[in-house]
Amino acid sequence: MSDFQPQLTKRFETKDGHTLKVFLETGGYASLKNLFAKKPAEIIEEVKASGLKGRGGAGFPAGMKWSFVPQNTGKAVYLVVNADEGEPGTFTDRFSMLYDPHLLLEGIICASYAINCHTSYIYVRGEFVEQINRLNAAIEEAKKANYLGKNIQGSGFDLEVYVHRGAGAYICGEETGLLESLEGKKGQPRIKPPFPAIVGAFGCPTIVNNVKTLSSVPWIVENGAAAYAAIGTKESPGTHVFGLSGHVNQTGYWEMPFGLPMMEFIEKYGKGMKGGKLKAVIPGGSSCPVLTAQECADLTLSYESMRDHKTMFGTGCAIIMNEHTDMAKILKNLTHFYRDESCGQCTPCREGSAWEDRIMKKILSGEATTKELDLMLEIADNMEGKTICVFSSALAFPVRSFIKKFREDFEKYCKPASVAVLEKITAN
């Protein structure tokens, strides 16, 4: 860590770091020399060898995803940037677009060249007005300096980039729902297969990548796969912009290599717990299964450690909760959110999310029995993996983990089932 040099946040605190002038002065667009000296297939292999995983949550290897794009089909190929960032507890991509938009553009150029794409769209969450303005200004700067447009830097490669403003729907963070929205339709996920790499935007081969995924690519192209793979851990190479929110003395985001222990992250970067001892951690956005304080004792910020602890790395933005946190109230916030954001296309998700939220409301009002906690678990089992996209699973994971790990927080609101039966008999 002592000799670590930031890759993704190096210009965040630099005056005018979002401008082309400062970007070039600090090494921006330097990767293009290596990029255009190689064949597109060589760039894909380089990214594969680096081990770069998609930073949007799924963690799928980026280079492998690019290799799925069929070539010479006679159809256009598109690159779409998922800059929606609607996952609760997640707040880092917006700073990348605000403070270093040209790095994202450089990554788009690298990825587009690799997959033979000449038109790219940045799908940005509609509320990110300042980020949208910064991106559009950066695109204009890049076009004037011939880093975008026709025959980029004399390479013979053409690329146009457009910013598309979304309407603030969480479901449009799912790549096929995003593509539907991009095409002007209602943002509802598509059945897969076919996958977007084969049939994506406008019926053409399409790659959808997250902001930080693409922003990581220029460093790989410039410095090589081996140098990138040497950072972090074996299964989680490179760096990431990790976020902290909740009951810590210092919230924020920090770029660092993968592999830091979670407790060290909280103590060193979060300046310790606020208001009490650690009770629970949601490690990477609200859809990740929650972890207890005991489980966090040997947890590290890496894909493999999250997997071993039966949760997910997700977006890498952790939500920290102290010992005074009422987990039932937290879960009620989540069920309300997922009920509200369900697109309604699939019955298990549409009805299941509403049902879970109604039960949580009943629990907090003191009208439920302990049997209804078991019913919530049963509903979650019938939601997970039963729908077109993973939205219903994204609610099933927290429901199951919250109730199983912190059942006492829920039971304090519930009547024992036997008492409820007796009350019913007495009333009759």
pLDDT in tens, 36-50: 999 999 999 999 999
> Within 13 Å and on the Cβ side, how many CA atoms surround 85?
25
Task: Place 58 in a pLDDT band, splitting at 50, 70 and 90.
Answer: confident
> Within 13 Å and on the Cβ side, how many CA atoms surround 312?
19
**What pLDDT is stored for residue 56 in this prediction?**
83
Distance CA(218)–CA(20), nearest Å, equals 16
Distance CA(84)–CA(211), nearest Å, equals 9
The residue-averaged pLDDT of 262-272 equals 98
Angle between helices 347-364 and 327-341 (to 10 degrees): 150
Distance CA(396)–CA(287), nearest Å, equals 8
CA distance between the termini of the chain:
69
Distance CA(264)–CA(66), nearest Å, equals 35
Distance CA(357)–CA(338), nearest Å, equals 9
Lowest-confidence segment of 149-158, 331-340, 415-424 by average pLDDT? 415-424
The residue-averaged pLDDT of 2-27 equals 93
Task: Place 1 in a pLDDT band, splitting at 50, 70 and 90.
Answer: very low
When computed from its CA atoms, the radius of gyration of the chain, rounded to whole angstroms, is: 23
Distance CA(170)–CA(343), nearest Å, equals 9
Distance CA(428)–CA(423), nearest Å, equals 9
Residue range 240-322 in CATH 3.40.50.10150: no
Q: Which residues pair with 240 in a beta bridge?
A: 256
Instruction: Enumerate the domain spans of the chain.
Output: 20-229, 240-322, 327-411
More confident residue, 72 or 281: 281
Is residue 296 a contact partner of residue 322, using CB atoms and an 8 Å limit?
no
Distance CA(356)–CA(410), nearest Å, equals 13
**Amino acid present at 294:** Q
Lowest-confidence segment of 11-20, 74-83, 419-428 by average pLDDT? 419-428
Task: Place 4 in a pLDDT band, splitting at 50, 70 and 90.
Answer: confident
Tell me the average pLDDT of the chain. Answer: 95
Q: Give yes or no for residue 215 having a pLDDT over 90.
A: yes
Distance CA(25)–CA(5), nearest Å, equals 17
Distance CA(404)–CA(398), nearest Å, equals 10
Is residue 111 a contact partner of residue 118, using CB atoms and an 8 Å limit?
no
Long-range pairs, 403-406, Cβ under 8 A, ≥24: 403/331, 403/373, 403/376, 403/377, 404/377, 405/280, 405/290, 405/292, 406/280, 406/290, 406/292, 406/327, 406/328
User: What is the fold of 20-229?
Assistant: Rossmann fold (3.40.50)
SS3 at position 317:
strand
Q: pLDDT exceeding 70 applies to what percent of the chain? A: 97
Same fold for the pair 20-229 and 327-411:
no
Task: Place 100 in a pLDDT band, splitting at 50, 70 and 90.
Answer: very high
Omega prior to 194 cis, within 30 of 0: yes
Task: Place 160 in a pLDDT band, splitting at 50, 70 and 90.
Answer: very high
pLDDT in tens, 385-394: 999 999 999 9
Q: 12: which residues sit within 8 A by CB, 6+ positions away?
A: 95, 99, 100
Q: Tell me the pTM.
A: 0.94
The residue-averaged pLDDT of 52-57 equals 90
Neighbours of 177 (CB within 10 A): 25
Q: Give yes or no for residue 168 having a pLDDT over 90.
A: no
The residue-averaged pLDDT of 87-97 equals 95
51 φ, ψ (degrees, to nearest 5) = 80, 10
**Amino acid present at 272:** G
Q: Under CATH, which architecture does the 327-411 domain have?
A: Up-down Bundle (1.20)
Distances (CA, A) of 120 to 93, 152, 209: 18, 15, 11
Q: Give yes or no for residue 128 having a pLDDT over 60.
A: yes
Residue position matching structure tokens 């403003």: 165
Omega prior to 189 cis, within 30 of 0: no
Q: What is the CA 3 to chain-centroid distance, rounded?
A: 28
Distance CA(312)–CA(401), nearest Å, equals 12
Task: Place 225 in a pLDDT band, splitting at 50, 70 and 90.
Answer: very high
